Amino acid sequence: MALLEKATDFKRSATRTMSEKWQTFSMPGAFRRAKEAMSGPAKMPHDPLEDQRAELVELDALISILSTCASTLSTSVDMLAAAPKPLFDPLSRFYSQGMPGSTAIQKLCLQMDSFAVHVKEHETEIEALQTKLRGLSERNRTVHQSFSYRDAAWTSQDHYTKKLEKLRDQIAKSGTSSALVEKLNRNEDKKRSSQQEFATRTSETGRQVNEALSNRWQEIGEVVAELSRYYTVVFQAAGTLSHELQQVSTELTKPSTTQALAKMGREIASQAQETANTFVDSLRARCSKWNESQKLSCQSFRDILSHYPPIIPIQNSPIFPTKPQ
């Protein structure tokens, strides 16, 4: 009987120990961290910094658009300035010095080249603007990273808060035990640590986002002003170029120039036709002369043959008599 009671007590003790272990079981931290790595840390509900975070995202979008605009503008102006350069030498050779319109072509090449040089001189301004925009974007990226660290700290704090609530509910329902008390104390220490981490991250993130947002209108205003100045530089040069090119267009299309060019074209065509006709006549004369010389040669050969007797076959020659059959 005593042995049976001891066995029963041992069974109850073992069952109670396993029950306590099951009640205090939770997901290992490695699993939780792996889940956060895949899906990202959860965001704090009703976050007091949520408005600043949304404004930072809006600022990032504007910076990205400005950066794209500056890059596209720089590339487009460079292409505009470089486009006519391959024409300079061929046009100069085509409209050689002294030809009607050659002065206008020289002016065209000179003005186009001056525009390209002017744009190149102000290239550093648009590059400085792009560098400034990259700096603003990098600063905001650092603030976003600070928000991510803060989210991770809040996730850790929330995890231990919920875990402690479950442990206290278990103690209230099933009673206390040394294992539960030990686990409760350990998780309370972790919660305090996570709270301190979250408070530190919140303070640092708040400071960074406030600095980024406090000067946003001034910073964006400076960027737009620099972009406007670059436009002004380009359009000033384009205005001068437009005036000069209008004169070039007028010079090339005025009646005196077009008539002179048409007359020159007709003269060149006439000279080419005359040269071709002369060549053909010369070729015909040579062919005719060659035919006459061939006829004379044949007649002379016949005259020479007429002074000689007919050719005697060699077998009937007196010198070589034919043998009797």
Q: What's the start-to-end Cα distance of the chain, in Å? A: 165
CA distances from 214 to 56, 198, 208, 209, 211 (A): 11, 24, 10, 8, 5
Residue with tokens 């294992």: 179
- Taking the domains of the chain in order of start, what are their residue ranges? 49-253
Tell me the Cα Rg of the chain.
51
State the Cα–Cα distance between residues 147 and 141, nearest whole angstrom.
10
Neighbours of 5 (CB within 10 A): 9
In this structure, whether the domain defined by 49-253 belongs to CATH 3.30.9.10 is answered with no
The pLDDT score that the predictor gives to residue 31 is 54
State the Cα–Cα distance between residues 145 and 205, nearest whole angstrom.
9
From the number of C-beta atoms within 10 Å of its C-beta (0-12, 13-18, 19+), residue 126 rates as: buried
The pLDDT score that the predictor gives to residue 21 is 47
The pLDDT score that the predictor gives to residue 189 is 92
Provide the 3-class DSSP secondary structure of residue 168: helix
Residue 238 neighbours by CB under 8 Å, 6+ apart? 115
The pLDDT score that the predictor gives to residue 314 is 47
The pLDDT score that the predictor gives to residue 36 is 56
pLDDT in tens, the chain (325 residues): 454 455 555 455 545 455 544 444 455 555 555 555 555 677 888 899 999 999 999 999 999 999 999 999 999 999 999 999 999 999 999 888 888 888 888 999 999 999 999 999 999 999 999 999 999 999 999 999 999 999 999 999 999 999 989 988 888 888 878 888 889 899 999 999 999 999 999 999 999 999 999 999 999 999 999 999 999 999 888 888 888 888 888 888 887 656 665 665 666 666 667 776 776 677 777 777 776 666 656 555 556 556 555 555 545 545 445 555 4
Tokens of 108: 């065209």
Tokens of 10: 């041992």
The pLDDT score that the predictor gives to residue 265 is 65
Provide the 3-class DSSP secondary structure of residue 308: coil
